[in-house]
Structures are given as C-alpha cells and as structure tokens.
Structure 1
Amino acid sequence: LGLIDRQEAFSDRSVTILKKIKRYALSVSVLYVAALPFVFMIADKDDAPGLIIVGLVPIFASVVIAVFAAVLQKLLREAIFIKSENDLTV
C-alpha cells in the first residue's frame, strides 16, 4: 500500500514484494500442516472432531493468500511489460 501511495505500484519492487508475500503464506501453510498431526491427536483424545476443521482453516486461508499473491504477481509483471512497451512507443 505504501508503494501505491508513492505512485510506484507498477514497479519491479512491487513484484518482489508479492513474491515474498507468496513465499511467506506458503511457509505459514507448511507450518500449520506440520502441526496438524498434533491437533489431530488432541482432537482424538478429547473427542472433538470440530478441532480438526478449525485447524484446517489457517491452512486454507494461507493457501488462498498465496494463490492470490501469485496471480497478482503475474498480472503485475504483465502490466509492467505492457507499460514499458507503451513508454517506448511515442
């Protein structure tokens, strides 16, 4: 959002920031997947099947964020390419 305020939204820096967001979101989902067996053991011990669904929500949310960031990254890369083509055409 800071790049948008400074009118630098269509820059290579914003593409790298989206790439970092995608990586961090995937890292969060991997960490939650790694913790899911422990949640499953606790849910099995306490006989609470809803706990597993609650454990899946952060995984789903972070994967959705990662996919959204990847799509935005690709669209932004294409927009930067089109903008540079238009800047060269006078």
Structure 2
Amino acid sequence: MKLGSTNFLRVVVYFIGVAVLALCIFALPSIATEAKRSQTDMVSFLYPLFIGMYVAAIPFFIALYQALKLLSYIDKDDAFSHSSVKALRMIKFCAATISVVYIFVMPFFYFVGQMEDAPGVIVIGMIIVFASLVIAVFAAVLQKLLKSAIEIKSENDLTV
C-alpha cells in the first residue's frame, strides 16, 4: 500500500478525533447550560445522557489511537504481525464498549425524545449503537482473517 493512502487515512482519523473532541469540549456543555436555563424537566434526563456520551468518548479515543497504530504498522510493512492483531482486538473491544454504553443510555434518549416530541433523537441513539456494533463485527472479522494469514505465513516460512 502506498504511503499516500495511509497518510490520507491518518488525516481522516485526526479530523474525526478533533471533531469529537470539539463536540465534547464545546457543544455538549453549551447544550447542557442552554437546557438548564430553558427547561428544568429535561435536565434530569440530559445529564445521564451527557455522562454516557463522555464515558463513550474514552473508548472512542482509544480506538482512534489503535487505528493510528495500525496505520503505522502498515507503513512499516509490518501489517501481518501480532501487534496488528492486538490493535484490531482493542478496536473491537472499544466499539463493543461504545455500543454497551449507548444501550444503557437509550432510555434517556427515549425520554428526551418524548419530552421534545422528536423521535429523531431515538434514531440517533440507535444509529450510534448499530454503527459501533458494525465496526466491532468488522474488526473481529479482520482480526480472524489477519490471525489466519499470520498462521499461514509462519507455516510457509517453516517449510522453506
């Protein structure tokens, strides 16, 4: 793989990380203060929702770091190694953790959607759950595939 494509993926990963960090630092606190000023009923449902979002941000940034490590392994022509398998396993666990956190937070999405009469809020929560589940399954498949490729490679190295 050319260095340009991994650099593009690296830039995309950094861009996603900066966007989520900006969301955590600027957008969520401003939404919380605005909700506190306008409606006191909804604040009791928003704070657990925001806590869940901040908790889910931790495995998200860990997964982004592992993706950057995986891209560096690809750059070093070390993609078929046990460290790549470890990085994929960590990405899988982080994505599954994000799904679990948002599954626990889904009732608060429901209550906020009911109070605001906006069913789209519930759909946003479900999209996050299913997207992270898809990423976890995809990482698990890649992990298995990479593990079997490493085994085949080591068998071929022993026969020669």
Determine which of 91, 114, 124 is the counterpart of 1:54: 124
Determine which of 60, 78, 81 is the counterpart of 2:151: 81
Determine which of 34, 50, 61 is the counterpart of 2:104: 34
- TM-score (norm. length: structure 2): 0.55
Indicate the larger mover: 42-51 or 8-17.
42-51
Give, in angstroms, the shift of residue 51 of structure 1: 1.4
Determine which of 85, 93, 108 is the counterpart of 1:23: 93
Determine which of 72, 75, 80 is the counterpart of 1:2: 72
Give, in angstroms, the shift of residue 69 of structure 1: 0.3
Give, in angstroms, the shift of residue 34 of structure 1: 1.1
Q: Which has the higher contact order (CA 8 A, sep 6+)?
A: 1
How many angstroms apart in 1 are the aligned matches of 2:112 and 2:80?
Answer: 47
How many angstroms apart in 1 are the aligned matches of 2:83 and 2:142?
Answer: 13
How many angstroms apart in 2 are the aligned matches of 1:49 and 1:3?
Answer: 43
Q: After superposition, where does 1:58-69 map in structure 2 within 5 Å?
A: 58-69=128-139
Aligned length: 90
Which amino acid is 2:127 matched to?
Answer: V
More helix by percentage: 2
Give, in angstroms, the shift of residue 49 of structure 1: 1.3
Which amino acid is 1:8 matched to?
Answer: D
Return structure 1 stretches of 4+ with deviation > 2 angstroms: none
How many angstroms apart in 2 are the aligned matches of 1:38 and 1:66?
Answer: 24
How many angstroms apart in 1 are the aligned matches of 2:125 and 2:83?
Answer: 34
How many angstroms apart in 2 are the aligned matches of 1:24 and 1:43?
Answer: 27
How many angstroms apart in 1 are the aligned matches of 2:125 and 2:93?
Answer: 20
- TM-score (norm. length: structure 1): 0.96
Q: Point out where structure 1 has 5 or more consecutive residues left out of the alignment.
A: none
